[in-house]
Chain A
């Protein structure tokens, strides 16, 4: 018994001395950052975190990859419901509407102001800032990894048909694909039709052509927005893609079939793809020896006045319910990421583009875009800034948009498998998509988007 008593006494004494000793050490304030990138990109984020931790002594960010964007959002919600949420979290573009209604965040602009950081929000490219800002223009989150869609084209193949430039209109694309086929190319263009490709095939296409995806300015003006892609130029576009597919000018390439779209281009199997600028690095690194390629802005239909394309990627949200010290750390971290030097580091190591004009200028001044492998990526900036964002090229702000994208994939598959006609398929997409939006609106009664 006495031994236990002594032991306890020692334990208590030890605890007291440890707790007394603690303040003297002044350990840095730790806070969590959850993100959704994996593989090579995960390593780059971890390096970024290390750089931040080494740049100052007051805060330490603990960065954890959750594997992908979906899982990051799911895990964050689960953690938030249990009161164990991270301080900073990366949420993908289409999760923005869900985040805005969650009531679970601390507005990024307020956070920076409270902690004494001055951020010039007009420095962000408008096409990027508007995607994440409220309808009044306040920034609730910080744009982080950003990209847009481009057309990748094989210069040698086009040289064979006497072209030295990428086609600018879809009419030209049709003629060029035919010429490529006649010149003996088996797969002139590759596409994929899963939910993910909603981004380049539906969202980017609609923005560039200034066509709405949904009413109420793509959802920015209210939760009662409903889809209307069955009445826009998008129908004609899908019709053309289907026609070219039937004529053998377009092949479907996906991982499930053996070779994905980007691999099919990098290996020289297919001559044209539409993909994210984020794949610029991948194509450069994995291309077949001697592949002569370039990127161009996505084509438009003849007679269209080109508008800005949409940003893709994710932004950083600061969650509510954290201590003032953690918020200070988060603000310092966001300020660090905002720095043009970080933009250069980030874009050099990934395919993502800088999100601020100062970051872009800094990179240009450093000669980033002058030579391979980075040459060509400035096309993405040109595409994003092709015009001032209009009311419908600000972005897409629809609830549960992930499910609408999945529905896009389902209906495209039905169309390409000849189960339904183009118009029927897109009508069903609108009908099922509206049911999803209906449900989202019911879940948030009496709430409005900020």
Chain B
């Protein structure tokens, strides 16, 4: 007779998973489920009751020109800022990896911006980019009316892209640098001995080997540009001028919390969630094919 204590594998597995499942349920599925429920009802802000309205909230949002504008500016923001962030971070990381003079210093300093909270850096950028008082005042002195984020939507968009990019370059830099340093030195040295120049080595050896990192950062940057842009928009432009920087995440906040339209905001956040899911699936489906995992 067997004396060992045995557990059914199934029970043990479940037991180990329970704490994690509980956490995910409490902090993700429950609120997300609540948001879905709210988006299908009209909630009275003070909790006095609600009415089931089916898909009415979605219908009214999707028929609003302001909302489509919000989607458009969000996509523009995501595309441009992701492009700038990844390009600059890649170049900086490639240079730092080459051990040029001062690269140790840059390695530390370039990470700092990511450690700064979005509202704080937005405040700093607001001062720097203020057309009458900041650095741009000098430019405006030379070309009057050149820079006016208060009325010109393009200028305002450029301001928030600049602030967001500045923060995320640091974040991307860490990953790129780590990826570069994971490439065996022998590969680079061998190709150098074969006569390949810096640019050649970058395109033929380093770039293909860091594609997994590039792909990872692409997904993260696009997702973050939809979500983490809130603090910057709130401090720098409040969505203006004339909704030119009213990103989806900011519109959710202003409709939900300032306008007390909880149901409309819930419906918008469901749409935002779906949009990010679709974008991510798209990236995995079509871009990941070009990624070479080792």
Contacts and interface: CB of A to CB of B under 8 A. Distances in A.
A413 B241 contact: yes
A38 to B, nearest CB: 16
Nearest to A432: B66
Point out which of B45, B60, B133, B263 has the most chain A C-beta atoms below 10 A from its C-beta.
B45
B150 A254 contact: yes
A104 B64 contact: no
25 contacts: A70-B257, A80-B46, A104-B48, A256-B130, A256-B150, A257-B149, A257-B150, A258-B130, A258-B131, A258-B132, A403-B258, A406-B258, A406-B259, A409-B240, A414-B241, A414-B242, A419-B242, A435-B64, A436-B259, A439-B261, A442-B42, A442-B53, A443-B42, A443-B43, A443-B44
Contacts of B134: 258
Given A411-B242, A439-B264, A400 B259 contact: yes
Interface string A175-194: 00000000000000000001
Contact of B151 (A411, A413, A439, A444): A413
Given A252-B151, A257-B150, A104 B46 contact: yes
A264 to B, nearest CB: 9
A33 interface: no
A444 B53 CA distance: 13
B150 A252 contact: yes
A316 to B, nearest CB: 17
Nearest to A254: B150
Nearest to B45: A77
Contacts of A259: 132-133
**Which of B130, B151, B152, B263 has the largest number of chain A CB atoms within 10 A?**
B151
Nearest to A400: B259
A47 interface: no
Contact of B45 (A98, A258, A416): A98
Contacts of B261: 400, 403, 439
Interface residues of B, number: 41
A39 interface: no
Nearest to B259: A403
B255 interface: yes
Contacts of B152: 417
Interface in B239-272: 240-243, 254-255, 257-261, 263-264
Contacts of A101: 44, 48
Contact of A102 (B45, B237, B238): B45
Contacts of B210: none
Nearest to B244: A413
B48 A102 contact: yes
A368 B240 CA distance: 42
A414 B66 CA distance: 13
Interface string B151-163: 1110000000000
A5 to B, nearest CB: 33
Interface string A21-55: 00000000000000000000000000000000000
Interface in B196-219: none
A77 B236 CA distance: 27
Given A81-B47, A259-B133, A439-B264, 4 more contacts: A74-B260, A101-B48, A257-B132, A414-B241
B193 interface: no
B133 A103 contact: no
B126 interface: yes
B51 interface: yes
Interface string A90-110: 000000001001111000000
